[in-house]
Structure 1
């Protein structure tokens, strides 16, 4: 797999029927290693090991309804009160991040109401803080570290 712009993380791999899988510590199972999954697993490790978010507050690949349509978010980080702190949208490294990616995560956030958004393809990372009053987002240099 392609090297990404994340620190090096210790991953567990498994090869079964000529398909490589990577262990997802959130879902507690091996998942087929696709380019987007490679980015998602790096992002999960980044949130846990670099930003100190507890595994118990992270959720991966769950369904949500946006304007009556079924969608699936990549990663959500909750606050301890159950509200949503961060939504992360992961793309494969070869997918350029453009306005449509920001529109996608903004649509998800209409339903989820997260304070922070992260968009990454593993090579480029973008972080935003929501301003619900003015209905816009402000770009940040990085996400805030976890604080109790």
Structure 2
């Protein structure tokens, strides 16, 4: 898998029936290793180990219903009150970050009302803080550290 623009992390990878699987400590099971999963695992580990978000408030591939269609957020971080704080949309490193990707996460946020949005392909990362009053988002240099 490609080296990403994220801190290195130890990931447990194994082969089963000629396919690679990665152990997901968030879902506590082996997941097929795809390029998108590679990015998702690296970014989730970045949030927990470098930004100090508790693993207990972190959900991967959380299902939501949008216009009667089931969708999944890649990474969802909750605040202490149990409401969504950060939504992260991960793409494979070969996927260019486009307006369409921002539109996808914005649609998810119509339902979730998270304060921060992140779009990443593991090489490029875009961090936004929602300005609900003015119905727009403001780009940030990085996502803030977890506030204890």
Name 2:101's counterpart in structure 1: 101
Measure how far apart 1:147 and its partner are: 1.2
Normalising to structure 2: TM-score of the pair?
0.98
**In structure 1, distance between residues paired with 2:135 and 2:69:** 22
Name 1:146's counterpart in structure 2: 146
Name 1:51's counterpart in structure 2: 51
Name 1:73's counterpart in structure 2: 73
Task: Tell me if 1:130 matches 2:130.
Answer: yes
Aligned length: 148
Show structure 2 runs of 5+ residues with no match.
none
Show structure 1 runs of 5+ residues with no match.
none
Normalising to structure 1: TM-score of the pair?
0.98
For 1:72, what is the secondary structure of its paired residue? Answer: strand
- Structural RMSD (CA): 0.7
**In structure 2, distance between residues paired with 1:98 and 1:66:** 21
Q: Which runs of 4+ in 1 moved over 3 A?
A: none
